[in-house]
Amino acid sequence: MVDYSKWKNIEISDDEDETHPNIDTPSLFRWRHQARIERMEEMKREGEEIKKKKEENERKLTEAKAKLAAAEKAGETELNEYKDAIKALEKSSEDINKKEVEHKKKEKLAPWNVDTISQPGFAKTVINKTAPAPKEEELTDEEREARMKKFIKDNEKDLKHFGMLRRYEDSKAFLKSHNHLVCEDTANYLVIWCINLEMEEKHDLMEHVAHQIICMQYILELAKQLDYDPRGCVDAFFSKIQIAEPMYKKSFDDELDQFKEKIRKRAAEKIEEAIKEAEEEEKKQRLGPGGLDPIEVLESLPENLKKCFESQNIQMLQDTIKEMDEEEATYHMKRCIASGLWVPDAKKKDAEDGADAEEGDQAAAPDESAKP
C-alpha cells in the first residue's frame, strides 16, 4: 500500500508571472514563492544567531572558569563574584541549548519545497541527465496555442486517463510508458478540465483530477530545480512520495485543499462572466433603432405613461400625452421611438412592407406569357 506520509508537509513553489489562470498552470501553484523564500531566510538567520550566541556564551564561560581557577590559586577569599558569573553563564547556556533544540525541531517540521526536497537523505536517487526540453520563452503566443491544440488533439484520451488515476504506482507506470505527457501542457489541460468539471458541478471528479495536477506540478518543479528533463524526474518524485513520513500528510492535504478552493473560485468567476456576457448579448439584440434598451426606457417612464405601454392602450396613451407638459412628453416619446417601444406611422410602414413583399412575390413568379 502506498505510504503518503513523507510528503505530508510540502510547499509548492511558485512563479511571479501573472498570466491567464486557464493556461498558465504554474501561477495556480506558485502564489507563495516570496513568502517561502522569506521564511527560509528567517529560519537560516535564526539558526546563525543561536550559533553565534552559543559560541559567545561558551567563550565567556571558559574565561570565567579560568578567572575563578586563577583566583583560587592566588589564594583569594572573595570568590562569590566569579561563581555568580559562572552560574549566570551556565543558566544562559541552558537557555541557548533549549532554543537550539527548538530550532532544529522547527527545521525538521518545516514543509518540504523544491529547495529541500532534492537534498540527499538515507537513500540515493541517480538521475541521468537528458536533453533539455524546448524553451517556452522561445515560442510566440500563436506557436504556443497551436502546439497546445495539437497536443490535446493527439493525447486527450491519455490525458484524461492520467487524470483519473489515483494510486502513485499506477501514475508512475503510466507516465513511464507515456513519457511525452510529462510536461506543462499536461498540467495546463488538467487545470482547464478541473475548472470545467467544477462548472458542471462534478465536484468529486474535480477533486480527483486536482490531486493528479499537484503530482504533475511537483515533477515539473523538481525538474526545474535540478535543471533536468522532467521525464527524468518521474522515478525520483514517486520514490520520494512513496516513502513519505506521516507528519507531512496533513500539510499535503492542506495544499491540495487550497488548490481546489482556487479552482472553485475560478469556476464561479467564469460562470458569472458567462451570465454577464449572455445578459449583454440579450441587451444588444433588443436595442431599438436609436440604440436604446426598451426595458430600460420603459422603466424610466413616468408611471401614467408606463401604464399606457404596458396595457398597449393607444387612446390612453394619446390622452396621457395631451395632459403632460409638451417638453416632457416630447423627451419621453423620442426615447420610446429610439428604443422601439413606439413606431411612428406603424400602419404606413406595415403597408409598405406588404407592398414590398408582394413585389418580391411577383418578381419570383414565372412569366405566363413566355409559356408555349
Q: Domain for residue 38, yes or no?
A: no
Same domain? 236 vs 344: no
313 and 269 housed in the same domain: no
Which DSSP symbol is given to 137? G
* Ramachandran category for residue 291: left, alpha or beta (phi over 0 → left; psi -120 to 50 → alpha): left
Q: Which of 180, 250, 185, 190 is nearest to 214 (CA)?
A: 190
Question: 195 with 139, same domain?
Answer: yes
pLDDT for res 363: 39
Q: For 210, how many CA atoms within 13 A lie in the half-sphere containing its CB?
A: 26
Radius of gyration, CA atoms only, the chain: 38
Q: Is residue 286 part of a domain?
A: no
Regarding whether 145 and 214 lie in a shared domain, the answer is yes
CATH of the domain at 214: 1.20.58.610
Do residues 94 and 127 share a domain? no
For the question of whether the overall pTM of this predicted structure is more than 0.85, the answer is no
- Around Cβ 21, how many Cβ atoms within 10 Å? 18
Name residue 25's beta-bridge partners: none
Choose one of 278, 306, 333: the last residue of a domain.
278
* All residues at 6 or more sequence positions from 247 whose CB lies less than 8 Å from its CB, including other chains: 5, 8, 9, 109
- Give residue 44's pLDDT: 85
Tens-digit pLDDT string for the chain (372 aa): 444 454 455 554 444 444 444 444 454 445 456 666 777 788 888 888 998 888 998 888 888 888 888 877 777 777 788 788 888 888 888 898 888 888 887 777 666 555 555 444 444 455 555 545 455 656 787 888 888 899 999 999 999 999 999 898 999 999 999 999 999 899 999 999 999 999 999 999 999 999 898 888 888 888 888 888 899 889 887 877 777 666 656 666 777 888 899 999 999 998 998 888 888 887 777 777 777 888 888 888 888 888 888 888 888 888 888 888 888 888 888 888 888 877 776 555 545 545 444 554 443 333 433 332
What domain range is 69 assigned to? 43-109
> Are 206 and 81 in a shared domain?
no
Whether residue 238 sits in one domain with residue 134: yes
320 in a domain, yes or no?
yes
Q: Name the DSSP letter for residue 140.
A: -
Query: Does any domain span residue 363?
Result: no
Domain co-membership, 263 together with 303 = no
Question: Which residue, chain included where needed, has cell 491519455?
Answer: 158
| Co-location of 232 and 176 in the same domain | yes
Q: Is 159 within a domain?
A: yes
The C-alpha atoms of residue 44 and residue 31 are separated, in whole angstroms, by 22
Q: Are residues 145 and 59 part of one domain?
A: no
Among residues 278, 306, 335, the one where a domain terminates is 278
136 & 213 share domain: yes
One-letter amino acid identity for 74?
A
In a domain? residue 71: yes
Q: Count the alpha carbons within 13 Å of 228 in the hemisphere toward its beta carbon.
A: 22
- Given 81, 109, 137, the domain boundary residue is 109
> How far is 198 from 264, CA to CA, in rounded Å?
6
Res 178: pLDDT? 93
Number of domains in the chain: 3
**Is residue 366 one of the residues assigned to a domain?**
no
Same domain, yes or no, for 79 and 213? no
Q: Give a yes or no: residue 96 inside a domain.
A: yes
